[in-house]
Amino acid sequence: MERKNVWSLYDSSQLAELGRINERYKSCLDAGKTERECVELSIRMAQEAGYRDLQDVMAKGETLKSGDKVYAVCMSKMLALFRIGEEPISAGMNILGAHIDSPRIDVKQNPLYENEEFAYLDTHYYGGIKKYQWVAQPLALHGVVVKKDGTVTKVSIGEEEGDPVFVITDLLIHLAQEQMEKKASKVIEGEKLDLLIGNRPAEKVLDETSEPDQSSDNGGSGKKSDQVKANVLRLLKEKYDMDEEDFTSAELEIVPAGKARDCGLDRSMIISYGQDDRVCAFTSLFAMLDVTDAKRTGCCLLVDKEEIGSVGATGMHSKFFENTVAELIALTEGESELKVRRALANSRMLSSDVSAAYDPMFAEAFEKRSSAFFANGITFNKFTGSRGKSGSNDANAEYIAALRKAMDDAGVAYQFAELGRVDLGGGGTIAYIMANYGMEVIDSGVAVLNMHAPYEVTSKADVYEAVKGYRAFLKI
Ligand code: MN
Ligand code: MN
């Protein structure tokens, strides 16, 4: 298949739409740096587009009909949107799926400690990262703290102008002779990824903000242990009404601080944290909200935990999606276990996740004829997996042919690729899990440079083609 860079094919109105979509995409990346933030943002956008909470529909005892739009949420971390089509749901849905969790560093449950007057948060990383990439740069803290009374406090520190940020330190090059001899996997070890969050003892702060108390001569420094930690705890109490024990029921994620930005003198690319897989998630969501009428029921499924195997209640292996479809069948065609199974088996899915973009700097890792190239459009992967396709979904040839036609008819640029050279590594997605229902599933998505690095790079043209491709898919 001939390669075709799409930039030269766009007219001015297409370039204008490309610009609008990418600006919107960047603002979504900035607002959604954790799975919870992505769900919250997506719900807000869906509500503005006329989507209603499925729980409300059920509570009111209403039924659903063609054209109705609903969403369902699982534990604030997984979201499914549905637009009921003209055909019954049991005839099958067109499903856009992507994941909204990204590689990052999580704060442990008993994290706060002081070492030589530095206060740290102990961490355990999440997903596949090159640990040495996460040191010596500004980091932000996002998440929630849940108190015993059920109060949920949102935390976001390091994104606003004027916010403090945090850092994981690296060893200075002058003393790194031994470190530099180590294997890359050992240069920075997992337990050394602790986040530096303070260096100022509690008493000093009090001295500065109040008049010196002449009577309390406590004999010089008055060094009690862990005064820096005590000061951090004081600040957490002030700002979040949080006690040290509340870390145990918190979900705090450490991510690179700062916003998504244009990349390149020609502004042809976007550099940002979390584009795996939010570049597919947000483009799928945009298409879902754009398409307001279609023959078949449309679904946009945004899942958590893909980076650690799609496990747990909010991962793709969860029964949440199947249960939600059962509720929808009950509200449209009447309760029927058989119709639920038919709905799932008759569905088609674009399981969208990022592809490894061909990188000339690492040409040896790729086989050119089966690589995804920037600005060559949405990528389809018949197979993923590793070592002889182990763990892969295999998209059916008949299904691929139907997608080729749909993409060609809608003027969408697309390419076929595998993840890197044979036997070099590999990866999985959520495709094989949905394929278990017997539905047609293909891996698709957007090519990314630097995948899983703190900052990943995509092509604006591919972001645009993805939205076009997803819109076309929802209409077939
Ligand atoms: Mn991914
Ligand atoms: Mn990934």
- Ligand 2 centre distance from Cα of residue 355 (Å): 9
Instruction: Indicate the DSSP class of residue 341.
Output: H
Q: Which residue has the higher pLDDT, 203 or 234?
A: 234
pLDDT at residue 223, as a whole number: 55
DSSP 200-260: --HHHHHHHHS---TT---STT---TTHHHHHHHHHHHHHH---GGGGGGEEEEEEE-S--
pLDDT digits (tens, 9 = 90+) for 194-221: 999 999 999 755 544 444 444 444 444 4
Average pLDDT over residues 257-267: 98
| Ligand located closest to 98 CA | 1
Structure tokens at 300: 């946009």
Helix (H, G, I), strand (E, B) or coil at 411: coil
Contacts of 200 by beta carbon, 8 Å cutoff, 6+ apart: 228, 231
Ligand 1 centroid to residue 115 C-alpha, Å: 36
Q: In the predicted model, is pLDDT for residue 133 greater than 50? A: yes
pLDDT digits (tens, 9 = 90+) for 271-281: 999 999 999 99
Tens-digit pLDDT profile for residues 296-305: 999 999 999 9
What's the average model confidence in pLDDT over 13-29?
98
Ligand index nearest the alpha carbon of residue 279: 1
Which ligand is nearest to the Cα of residue 129, counting in written order? 2
Which of 100-114, 233-247, 300-314, 385-399 has the weakest average pLDDT? 385-399
pLDDT band at 44 (very low <50, low <70, confident <90, very high): very high
Stretch 174-180: mean pLDDT, rounded? Answer: 97
* Nearest ligand atom owner, CA of 278: 1
Burial per residue of 62-100, b for 16 or more beta-carbon CB atoms within 10 angstroms, e otherwise? eebeeebbbbbbbebbbbbbbbbbeebbbbbbbbbbbbb
* pLDDT of the residue at 421: 87
pLDDT for the residue 220: 42
Q: From CA 87, how far away is CA 294, in angstroms rounded?
A: 9
Q: How many residues does the chain have?
A: 476
Ligand nearest to the Cα of 354, by number: 1
Q: Would you state the pLDDT for residue 152? A: 97
Q: So what's the pLDDT on residue 427?
A: 81
Q: How remote is the CA of residue 354 from the centroid of ligand 1, in Å?
A: 6
Query: What span, in angstroms and rounded, lies between the C-alpha atoms of 461 and 357?
Result: 13
Alpha carbon of residue 116 to chain centroid: 36
How many Cβ atoms are within 10 Å of 154's Cβ, its own excluded?
Answer: 12
Nearest CA-CA partner of 131 in 177, 170, 101: 170
Q: What is the pLDDT of residue 110?
A: 98
Q: Decide if pLDDT at 222 tops 50.
A: no
Q: Could you tell me the CA-to-CA distances from 97 to 264, 364, 398, 439 in Å, in that order?
A: 30, 31, 20, 13
Distance 239 CA to ligand 1 centre (A): 34
pLDDT of the residue at 108:
98
Contact (Cβ atoms closer than 8 angstroms) between residue 82 and residue 334: no
- φ, ψ for residue 77 (rounded to 5)? -130, -5
Distance in angstroms (rounded) separating the CA atoms of residues 43 and 302 = 11
Residue-level pLDDT at 214: 46
The pLDDT assigned to 213 comes to 46
Copy the structure tokens of residue 234: 């004081």
**pLDDT at res. 204:** 56
- The token pair at 155 is 């935390």
Strand order in the sheet with 269-272: 261-263, 269-272, 456-459, 447-449, 355-356
Q: What is the rounded radius of gyration, in angstroms, for the C-alpha atoms of the chain?
A: 25
Is 444:352 a contact under the CB 8 Å cutoff? yes
User: Which tokens go with 116?
Assistant: 């030589």
Adjacent-strand bridge partners of 144: 154, 251
pLDDT tens, residue by residue, 46-100: 999 999 999 999 999 999 999 999 999 999 999 999 999 999 999 999 999 999 9
The residues, any chain, with a CB within 8 Å of residue 191's CB and separated by 6 or more, are none
Chain segment 435-466, per-residue pLDDT in tens = 999 999 999 999 999 999 999 999 999 999 99
Residue 276 CA to ligand 1 center (angstroms) comes to 5
Can you tell me the distance from the alpha carbon of 81 to that of 53, in angstroms, rounded to the nearest whole number? Answer: 9
User: Which run of H or of E encompasses 340?
Assistant: helix 337-345
> Residue 134 Cα, ligand 1 centroid: separation in angstroms?
19
CB contact set of 250 (below 8 Å; sequence gap of 6+): 107, 109, 143, 144, 145, 146, 155, 242
DSSP code string of 457-471 = EEEHHHHHHHHHHHH
| Residues whose beta carbons lie less than 5 angstroms from ion ligand 1 | 276-277, 353
Write down the H helix ranges in 414-457.
431-435
- In this prediction, residue 219 carries a pLDDT of 41
